[in-house]
Amino acid sequence: MSSKGSLMFVLHAHLPYVYHPGDIDIVEESWFFEAVVETYIPIISFIENLSRDGLHPSIAISLSPTLSAMLENKELERKLSDYVAKRLKLISKEKENVTNPVIRKTLDMYYNLYSSAEATLDKYNGDLVGAFKQFSQAQLIEIMTTSATHAILPLLPRPEAVRAQMAVAADDYLYRFNKKSRGFWLPECAYEKKLQTYLKLSGFEYTFLEAHALEKFDMGVYSPVSAGNNLKILARDVTSSRDIWSAQFGYPGDPNYREFYRDLGYDADPEYIKPYLGMGQGKKPVGLKYYRITGRDVALSEKQLYDPVAAEETVKKHVEDFIEKRLKQCEEIYSHKNSKPVIIGCYDAELFGHWWFEGPRFLETVIREIRNKRVPLQIVKPAEYIDSIGEPPVFEPEISSWGEKGYFDAWLNESNDSVYSDIICVTDKMISAATRFKNQNLDRLNQRALNQAAREVLLSQASDWPFLIYVNSHRTYAFSRIREHVSNALLLLNQVFSKNIDEKFLSNVENKNSIFPYIDFRVFASASKF
């Protein structure tokens, strides 16, 4: 049977750069450990499972440079191993104490999850980027990059800063994967027209936008378009995304699925759980969650016990529903447009596993069912799809993002706008310094100081900081990170200009914010290689 249309799954994997060398039990580093165990390793596992059974996953993953750097960081790797070992110890202790058979089933599930994490880390020698690289080389998946530190590019007023975010990301990808990234994930799908020029000049062939960027295009989001400069635009389908993304209407809100917010770290006796919480005050999540969502308006204290078997049955039901809806959607689009659509589902990777615990299982089962049952839907990767369709029609996309209200409100509002003065100011100073020194023969120390200043400026621009301030979560940490990077960059630039570089300080910040090892500060210069 010929296909009724194509499905494209795009997972955007990103975490801000949260590396605190020498420190232990940093809460923000646990974001990374949780995401590795609950999301990245389950994704690796389902790619392996499908591949072992001769089924191509054909998903696209955008791996942010900050996440990739953390995945390759040896100290974080050691801390991750400790984190996993500690959780396995806690699970064993829980198994000794818990008699309830339903919780014991859940504990078995967690044992498998953490054992699998340990085995996967062992199998790839701790190199999870290497695992993704192998899958990409085997053409099982496609990997693309995103801006260097996940900056919202329309909120950078200087073109030099936008180009630096793109060029550093492009070089970082080339260094890591030995080839260029054809695609570019725009952080939060944040787009404005000037970006198409910089994307094209940076060597990227396509990007993804939010649906309403193409709302005036007659084929809607179901067919790529070419922006004026031949940059290919693929747009997110809201209908299929809603099934998965929406906490209110989507699958992740099903009463049988695991409740994210009720965690043993909050429920257990403080003395009992203390050894597993690490240092610092207060209760923290430990990743063991024994309850299910139960109902939308059910208080956390009233939640019922999670049953992995019931959750698995629900996954099957949702997979069936998802495939049926996509087939119907393809038929409807074909009947209106007389053209086979491509339905593009873009998601934060961390939704799968971390937020929606059953998400990786859902995605694996969708792909498995479509492949095994020869459902007339093609699962396609972006580059192979673009290569197969000829020249798409030219259309100028509109300014947009996939954020709240469709634009940049979440990253620029009264709660967080105070951070932009410093970020823009230090970026201006970096551009001036790079332009001033770009053709000078600098000694190693000056070169190092300017390169580190460039790293600090990029890190200050991360979208995560204003977002965390906006949602009032880790707000102090977010403010402090911007302040730290701005302050480091200013100090280093001042030291370069005053010919008085403090080598000890430079070594400290190089050690701490050790991302982009091959960066050249000249990427910020006004008359750059573009």
Partner 1 sequence: MSEKNVNICSGEKLVLLIKNPETLFVLWSFNETNERNFEKGIYTRQVELRIFALSELLPVLSFKFDFNDNRNYIQMPVKEGEYFASLYARNEKGEEMKLLESNVILAPVGKSKEVNYTYGSQFFKRGQI
* Binding residues vs partner 1 (CB under 8 A): 31, 154-155, 157-158, 188-189, 192-194, 210, 212, 236, 238, 241-242, 245-247, 260-261, 266, 300, 346-348, 350-351, 355, 398-399, 401-410, 412-414, 417-422, 424-426, 428-429, 464, 467-468, 471-474, 483, 486-487, 490
What is the SS3 assignment for 262?
coil
CB of 111 to partner 1, least distance (A): 25
User: How far, in Å, CA of 207 to CA of 60, rounded?
Assistant: 12
DSSP, collapsed to helix, strand or coil, labels residue 312 as helix
Considering beta carbons, is residue 288 or 426 the nearer one to partner 1? 426
Q: Which is nearer to partner 1, 361 or 371 (CB)?
A: 361
Q: How far is the CB of 267 from partner 1 (least distance, A)?
A: 11
Question: 265 near 285, Cβ under 8 Å?
Answer: yes
Residue 130 contacts residue 72 (beta carbons within 8 Å): no
Question: Which residue's CB is nearer to partner 1, number 302 or number 313?
Answer: 302
Q: Which CB, 340 or 483, lies closer to partner 1?
A: 483
Distance of CA 40 to the CA centre of its chain: 10
In angstroms, give the least distance from the CB of 50 to partner 1.
Answer: 25
Q: H or E stretch including 207? A: strand 206-209
Question: In the complex with partner 1, which residue's Cβ is closer, 10 or 121?
Answer: 10
Closest CA to 294 of 243, 337, 238, 253: 253
Q: How far is the CB of 246 from partner 1 (least distance, A)?
A: 6
Closest contact distance (angstroms) between CB of 413 and partner 1 is: 7
Closest CA to 448 of 358, 519, 398, 399: 519
Beta-sheet strands, E only, within 236-367:
342-348
We find the least distance from the C-beta atom of residue 431 to partner 1, in angstroms, to be: 11
Measured from the CB atom, the residue of 116 and 197 that comes closer to partner 1 is 197
What is the Cα 333 distance to its own chain's centre? 30
Residue 237 CB, shortest distance to partner 1, in Å, is 10
Residue number, 242 or 374, with CB nearest to partner 1: 242
All residues at 6 or more sequence positions from 208 whose CB lies less than 8 Å from its CB, including other chains: 10, 183, 185, 186, 189, 233, 234, 235, 236, 344, 346, 382
135 vs 291 by CB, closer to partner 1? 291
User: For residue 29, with 0-12 CB atoms within 10 Å meaning exposed, 13-18 middle and 19 or more buried, which class applies?
Assistant: buried
The helix (H) or strand (E) run that includes residue 113 is helix 101-123
Q: Are strands 378-379 and 183-185 parallel, antiparallel or unpaired?
A: unpaired
The torsion angles phi and psi of 285, rounded to 5 degrees, stand at -70, 145
Closest separation in Å from C-beta 474 to partner 1: 6
